[in-house]
Structure 1
Amino acid sequence: MIELLTVISLTIVVAIVPGPDFAVVLRNALIGGRLAGIMTALGIGLALAVHVAYALAGIGLLVSQSILVFNILKLIGAAYLVFLGITMFRSASPQAPAASGADAMPPLKALRWGFLTNVTNPKATMFALSVFLQVTSPETALWTKIGYGMIMASGVFLWFVLVTCFFTLPAVRQGFLSIKLWMERTFGILLTLFGIGIAVTTSSSRP
């Protein structure tokens, strides 16, 4: 029971702390509509499931113990965030989207944005590893660990669905769209800064 409560608590904390995932979900929900936001959230949940899978397989431990491999993956993730941030900044426009949903942003594109943002984030890797290395014990059954992984992935997904539903309320979304140009530029700058922050983080920050 203590393990379960710890996993739930960590998932809540990781989900609600603003980061690249939050910025991407919020941007896509406001620009592409509710479907785009939910598909972005789904991509993030699927990516977290990938982190869980290789953490359970032991591959994540090997990555965390190899400075070279960890730093290579970290730089790949940082480069993607910088690319995404620059793309957002350059494509920013004061013109509101002509449509919402699939016409404004294809669902598969939103899914891809969410998936790549999370799967290349080394902090998500460390989150999955910390749960299975520090919270669970060798006596914890594999199926129980898989259940924890499902809680982590689905919990993060549900949080971002709630974020999407709130920010796509007509009044809220319209308010943000009135400052669309600066909103997109701000998201672009934030993602670029997230990427740069990851790139300059030293390997000594690994758990």
Structure 2
Amino acid sequence: MTAAVAGFALFALLVTMAPGPDTLLVLRNCVRGGRRTGAATAVGAAVGSLAWAVAAAVGLAAALQRWDAAFTIVRLAGAAYLVVLGGQALWAHRRSAAAERPDTGPGPRDSPDP
């Protein structure tokens, strides 16, 4: 049992240290928002990885694999979260595009005839 836990801990450490999508997300947020935003993203990614490793260690991953209803709930909650994030990104893009558009005033068709 101890060897299995030690092996899992080593594997979780190696997988967590390997560069992946979270590394690219941290780099993107550093470039866009600065050091503070990048650090917050890095901490969030690390906490998420740690939470998943702990959940897997206590058997939650195995329970979700065997209990279809729980897996469906977690999957739908994750999908809803991604939809919310996508909506926020689209809304922010729309607002920034509207703010960048200059106000040209009335055009030739909008002005009254003399």
- 1:42 aligned to 2:40? no
**Identical columns (%):** 33
Structure 1 position 75 matched with structure 2 position 81: no
Change (3 A) 1:12 1:45: closer
Q: Which amino acid aligns with 1:56?
A: A
Question: Aligned to 2:63, what secondary structure does the other structure show?
Answer: helix
**Which residue of structure 1 lines up, in the alignment, with residue 63 of structure 2?**
62
Q: Which amino acid aligns with 1:79?
A: A
Q: 1:23 to 1:71 in 2, by over 3 A?
A: farther
Cα distance in 2, alignment partners of residues 6 and 62 from structure 1: 19
Cα distance change on mapping 1:33 and 1:62 into 2, 3 Å: same
Deviation of 1:30 after TM superposition, in Å, equals: 3.0
* Alpha-carbon distance between aligned partners in 1 of 2:32 and 2:47, rounded to the nearest angstrom: 22
Name the Cα RMSD after superposition. Answer: 2.8
Shift of 1:60: 2.3
Q: Which has the higher contact order (CA 8 A, sep 6+)?
A: 1
Task: For 1:12 and 1:50, locate their aligned partners in 2 and report how far apart those are by CA, in whole Å.
Answer: 15
TM-score (normalizing by structure 1): 0.36
Cα separation, partners in 2 of 1:23 and 1:76, compared to 1, 3 Å: farther
Q: 1:7 to 1:38 in 2, by over 3 A?
A: closer
Counting only pairs closer than 5 Å after superposition, residues 130-169 of structure 1 correspond to structure 2 as: none
Structure 1 runs (4+) deviating above 2 angstroms are 3-8, 10-13, 21-31
DSSP 3-state at the match of 1:63: helix
Q: Deviations over 1:38-63 (max 9, x none)?
A: 11111110111111112111222111
Q: Which residue of 1 aligns with 2:90?
A: 89
